[in-house]
Amino acid sequence: MDDLREEPTKVAKDIIDQGSKGLKFANEAENRIVNILNAYRECEQLSLQQKQEIDALKAKIGAKAEIIVEGEVCWKALDREKKAPYCSRCWIKNKELMPMRDDRNGIHTCIECNNSWDDGTYREPKDQTGRSPWGDRKWK
């Protein structure tokens, strides 16, 4: 009987123990769920960031592929300073970007088809009398 008298106290103690174990477990479970949610959000953010990077790269590649034809030459749309002219004849004919050799006198010549372009700085050489050795021939 003595054992039974103490039983309610033991049961109450066990309930409290189990309850605190349950509470501890609930806290741990909450932390684990929060960690999972944080990792998920990080992944979500990362994939959004990667998607934006991919979109930016696609836009860049698209713009790079865009070719602007101007008379005898053509340019990559991204080459805003127009530093590297390509031959428009070769581009139109073969869809091939053929670099033009800089002849260092204002004339650029296609290394494939000999098409030439005056970048606006060409000055025809003149002899002592002021005549051009090529007569009145003009570059276009």
Q: What residues make contact with Zn ion under the rule CB under 5 A?
A: 87, 89-90, 98, 110, 112-113, 115
Q: Closest distance between Zn ion and the C-beta of residue 132, in Å? A: 26
Strands 86-87 and 100-102: unpaired
Choice between 38 and 114, CB closer to Zn ion? 114
Q: Closest distance between Zn ion and the C-beta of residue 125, in Å? A: 25
Q: Closest distance between Zn ion and the C-beta of residue 53, in Å? A: 36
- Would residue 129 be called left, alpha or beta, if left means φ above 0 and alpha means ψ between -120 and 50 degrees? alpha
Sheet containing 100-102, strands listed edge to edge, beginning at the edge strand earlier in sequence: 100-102, 107-110, 116-118
CA distances (Å), origin 47, targets 57, 60, 96: 15, 20, 36
Strands 67-70 and 107-110: unpaired
Choice between 26 and 113, CB closer to Zn ion? 113
Burial of 36 (0-12, 13-18, 19+ CB in 10 A): exposed
Choice between 91 and 124, CB closer to Zn ion? 91
Choice between 112 and 124, CB closer to Zn ion? 112
Q: Closest distance between Zn ion and the C-beta of residue 92, in Å? A: 9
Q: Closest distance between Zn ion and the C-beta of residue 52, in Å? A: 39
Choice between 14 and 96, CB closer to Zn ion? 96
71: nearest Cα among 84, 54, 85, 61 = 85
